[in-house]
Amino acid sequence: MKTFLLIFIMTAAHLSVSQAQTIRVLVWDEQQEQQAAAYENFIGNEIAARLDAASDDIEVRSVNQNGPEQGLTEEDLDWADVMIWWGHVRQAEITPELAQKKLIRRLKSGGLDMIFLHSAHWSTPFMEAMNERTVSDAHRKYPASQVGKAVEFEFIRPPGRMVPTRDSLVTPAYLALKRGNQVERVRVDLPNCCFPAYRPDGAPSTLNVMLSEHPIAKGLPKSVSMRSTEMYNEPFHVPEPDELIFEETWETGERFRSGMLWKVGEGTVFYFRPGHETFPVYKQPEVIRILENACRALGEN
């Protein structure tokens, strides 16, 4: 009887630990027809299936923009620890109000961490998350005076999803005005979340690991060849990241900060650049390893 009881207790404890370590990942995809050039069953389903096959401790659900509530049901969002977002041509269908209500409040409270892939740099939730981080950075950069006088802030949103020219002011940008030694007013141009050049020719790139000891880089060599991908070129108009994990380069001289982390409130955002709907980037084992690592690193925090 004592032996049976001991086995039961040990089994229960093992199950409890296993359940506690399970990372629940919600993969969201806009599901566009162009994905059929490289994916038999859409990008989101491809990523979800590969993550599910690669990891015993990651539980995955795949949703899409055509589903109930645009794939953003309260039940799925409450279930998830981490959300992976892939979008491109249907970005504007998710409104800032919806992103704030459904996603950003969860992110800021630490209830949901988010991974944004490739062209999701212009997704509404990514832009809203970068705005939130910029507002936080601005208040930290320009605090109230020692006598308690608050600084007056003006936050200016970009006029739309428009590509910046190479000689543009890089956003987020600050114009701080002071009287005497005290800053009184600050204009903040919020991040455009884009870059001046891209090239969808499928040329290979090299993904260089900048932080080899980071958990998201676990198990990777110092560099990974992206066999066929779209090119993005700096400067990327986003807040300075807390951590730069990957930088990507091309033989033609372009470079891009391709793996970055930010804290947004109590939550974490990871942006990972390689990809395109017509190139099989998400079938590459190293890419799935990075996403697996990222889900685990964010979900265990």
Closest CA to 157 of 207, 192, 129: 192
Q: What share of the chain is helix, strand, coil (3-state, %, to 5)?
A: 35, 25, 35
Q: Is 11 exposed, middle or buried (0-12, 13-18, 19+ CB in 10 A)?
A: exposed
Q: Mean pLDDT, the chain, as a whole number? A: 93
Q: What's the mean pLDDT in 165-177?
A: 97
- Whether 16 has a pLDDT exceeding 80, the answer reads no
The model's pLDDT over 45-102, given as tens digits with 9 standing for 90+, comes to: 999 999 999 989 999 999 999 999 999 999 999 999 999 999 999 999 999 999 999 9
Query: What pLDDT digit, counting tens, does each position of 131-167 carry?
Result: 999 999 999 999 987 667 889 999 999 999 999 999 9
Give the C-alpha separation, 99 to 231, whole Å: 28
Quick check: 55 and 112 in contact, CB under 8 A?
A: no
Reduced to 3 states, what is the DSSP secondary structure of residue 214? coil
pLDDT at position 150: 87
Residue 11, pLDDT score: 47
Instruction: Give this prediction's pTM.
Output: 0.92
Delineate the domains of the chain, giving CATH numbers in brackets: 2-133+192-299 (3.40.50.880), 144-189 (no CATH)
| Paired strand residues for 178 | 183
Dist CA 113 CA 297 (whole Å):
10
Query: Could you tell me which of 196, 211, 288 has the C-alpha nearest to residue 242?
Result: 211
What is the pLDDT, as a whole number, of residue 145?
72
